[in-house]
């Protein structure tokens, strides 16, 4: 198990580079998606900046959030467990 976690969290040359597993996940539009709602400081203008990035690069809003959060969490030592089967919807 330790080898698996180490393989998932090895640092890249560019700390902001998306993990290949994350790119594969967001590239698959058949993967179930959930809503992520958190209150964030308005002064950071995150919604405006996300809309602007979307307009400039044609990356969906949700994918921008996924890439940013996943990269940050992996860098902090919290990789996802992509081998765990998803719980059935109730």
Q: In the Cβ-directed half-sphere of 59, how many Cα atoms lie within 13 Å?
A: 16
SS3 assignment, position 49: helix
Residue pLDDT, tens place only, 40-86: 999 999 999 999 999 999 999 999 999 999 999 999 999 999 886 66
CB within 8 Å of 80: residues ≥ 6 apart: 8, 21, 70
Question: Contact 15/75 with Cβ under 8 angstroms?
Answer: yes
This prediction has a pTM of: 0.75
Q: What's the chain's length in residues?
A: 90
Give me the pLDDT at residue 1, please. 54
């Amino acid at each position: 198990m330790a080898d698996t976690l180490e393989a998932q969290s090895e640092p890249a040359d560019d700390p902001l580079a998306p993990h290949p597993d994350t790119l594969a996940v967001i590239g698959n539009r058949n993967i179930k998606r959930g809503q992520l709602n958190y209150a964030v400081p308005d002064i950071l203008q995150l919604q405006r900046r996300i809309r602007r990035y979307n307009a400039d690069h044609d990356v969906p809003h949700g994918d921008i959030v996924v890439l940013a959060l996943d990269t940050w969490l992996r860098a902090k030592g919290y990789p996802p467990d992509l081998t765990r089967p998803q719980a059935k919807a109730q």
